[in-house]
Amino acid sequence: MNDTGTNFVNCYEDVSRSDAYATLEFANTYYLAYRDLPAIISENVVGTKALDFGCGTGRSTRFLRKLGFNVTGVDVSEDMLRIARSLDPSGDYHLVPGDNLDEFEAGAFDLVLSAFTFDNIPGATKTRIFRDLGKLLTPNGTMVSVVSSPEIYTHDWASFTTKDFPENAAARSGDVVRIVVTDHQDRRPVEDIMWTDESYRAVYREASLQAIQVVKPLATGDEPYGWVNETKIAPWVIYVLRRAM
């Protein structure tokens, strides 16, 4: 397993990219990332205090609020948070430089959601952050982490294209991979870190977390979207995590 370490630059910390991401809705391939979350959360979460880790421009934060949660959104990008606050003036958004979560009390949250955040966090840092997030959960709290499947980087989708990056097929866990989002106007490649299920489970063990459920959402074909591979290959993986006993 490779690890890009501290030299990896998070390409989402960019003004133009922040503006583009603010236009994303729950459509196309992104629809599958969120479709099952209400049921997953209802089945696994008791309580209403939630942390949206890596909230970006606030899409997931607003999503959780509509589910009835009292949500705090955190992110490392001030550009993303600027837009989140403009779209959601009553929201609770915090800048966490270096993903430092020390301002929050241990055991403060019933739910921690991370949607796509760990796609661009290097391996050693993944472990540290998951451990820190686990400490923020109540004793019976639940973490839900939505990540890109390795297959997302080797196929085309309703919301993404990888056709210009055949080198992705040779990527090992921890390698940088490239993908283009086609749902907004910024067509610059995004650089992510490919991470396998085996590698995620190793990180969870090191962070004293355990996966109690894993969901790989597929499209049914009945949705009003122009699916490409979504009916037969899952673009996302949803991990439901608890603190290890």
**Residue 6: predicted pLDDT:** 44
Residue 4 scores a pLDDT above 70: no
Contacts 24+ apart (CB under 8 A), 69-74: 69/111, 72/104, 72/109, 74/101
pTM of the predicted structure, to 2 decimals: 0.92
Instruction: Give all domains of the chain, ordered by start, each with its CATH number.
Output: 5-150+195-243 (3.40.50.150)
Residue 218 scores a pLDDT above 60: yes
CB 235 within 8 A of CB 152: yes
**Residue 245: predicted pLDDT:** 78
Of the chain, the percentage scoring pLDDT greater than 90 comes to 86
184 pLDDT tier (thresholds 50, 70, 90): confident
**Residue 30: predicted pLDDT:** 95
pLDDT per residue as tens digits for the range 6-55: 454 555 555 555 555 555 678 999 999 999 999 999 999 999 999 999 99
**Residue 185: predicted pLDDT:** 76
Of the chain, the percentage scoring pLDDT greater than 70 comes to 90
**Residue 14: predicted pLDDT:** 57
**Residue 183: predicted pLDDT:** 85
**Residue 21: predicted pLDDT:** 53
Residue 202 scores a pLDDT above 60: yes
Average pLDDT over residues 180-205: 93
Q: Which two tokens stand for residue 21?
A: 């991401």
pLDDT per residue as tens digits for the range 105-141: 999 999 999 999 999 999 889 999 999 999 999 999 9
Selected residue with higher pLDDT from 149 and 21: 149
Q: Which two tokens stand for residue 164?
A: 């210009």
**Residue 167: predicted pLDDT:** 98
**Residue 192: predicted pLDDT:** 96
CB 195 within 8 A of CB 174: yes
**Residue 187: predicted pLDDT:** 80
- Interacting residues of 55 by C-beta distance below 8 A, sequence separation 6+: 61, 73, 74, 75, 80, 81, 84, 93
